[in-house]
Amino acid sequence: MKLYLRYLAIHFKSQMQYKTSFFLTLIGQFLTAFSTFLGIWVMFTRFSSVKGFTYPEVSLCYAVVLMSFSLAETFFRGFDTFPRMIGNGEFDRILVRPRSPVFQVLGAKIDFTRLGRLLQAAVIFAWAIPRSGVVWTAANVVTLCGMILAGSLVFAGLFLLYAGICFFTLDGLEVMNIFTDGGREFGRYPLSVYGDAVLRFLTFVVPLALFLYYPFLTLLGRSESLLWRICPLFALLFLIPCYAVWRIGLLHYRSTGS
């Protein structure tokens, strides 16, 4: 943990070397996320509700997915840029150090500019939480935190899976972005609006619904199911196959030329 803080500090110092660039990117991240939020707003000026969800409710949903995603992207960015690490031999360096590769890849890239989105998510939360009509009991607060945390870990799992596949292809698979960036965009609306087939896929294959949809319904008081409330815990199971793919990939690692 101490070492991770060291990594954080060194990345922070590095990024502070280029202050202007850092703040411009931060603001850029904030604004892109904001434009999506505006898009939802425009939608709601035409329709008062989408599949029975009100504007503040949808905003709350979007804030959850945005915050999860930006947390994952800030702290697990190393896996997102993993093809480059393999390509330039940086991964060789990681293997000659006596720490776990996963930990070192985590520490290899921490991108604080992604916190622009986090800020955006916080702003939307601040706006949506009092308006969403959710009764903020202790159980609901815990559920919301659990949703965000499980969400970041699911996105982290996707990044890890992506990195694991890179061992075989030695190059990034853009198709994976459907689930990462795509997941973020999907999460703008409660996932039931996309129909049953998509919802099922997002429950059992890529478990976005487990942290985003089912517990969200219990927050809104539309379901009393305890099972649905603890769904974020099940979402964590997704990490197991992701890690397995990473391990198998690691065994196949063949480095690049000198």
Query: Is 258 a residue that touches another protein (CB under 8 A)?
Result: yes
Residues 51-110 that bind another protein (CB under 8 A): 88-90, 92-93, 95-100
Spatial contact of 108 and 88, defined as CB atoms under 8 Å apart: no
Separation CA 148–CA 72 (nearest Å): 10
Q: From the CB of 30, what's the least distance to another protein, in Å?
A: 24
For every residue of 193-235, DSSP letters joined together read GG-HHHHHHHHHTS-HHHHHTHHHHHHTTS---HHHHTHHHHH
CA distances from 82 to 4, 125, 126, 192 (A): 19, 31, 34, 33
Is-contact 64 148, C-beta < 8 A? Answer: yes
Of 90 and 222, the one with the shorter C-beta distance to another protein is 90
Closest distance of CB 4 from another protein, Å? 10
19 binds another protein (CB under 8 A): no
Angle (CA) 40-231-194 rounded to 5° is 35
Report 171-230 residues binding another protein (CB under 8 A). Answer: none
Kindly tell me which of 89 and 221 has the beta carbon lying closer to another protein. Answer: 89
Least separation in angstroms between CB 247 and another protein: 13
> Does residue 127 belong to the site contacting another protein (CB under 8 A)?
no
Nearest to 212 by CA among 201, 204, 202: 202
Piece of 15-23, 32-40, 53-61, 150-158 that binds another protein (CB under 8 A): 15-23
By beta-carbon proximity to another protein, the closer residue of 6 and 247 is: 6
Binding site for another protein (CB under 8 A): 2-3, 6-7, 10, 13-15, 17-18, 88-90, 92-93, 95-100, 251, 253-255, 257-258
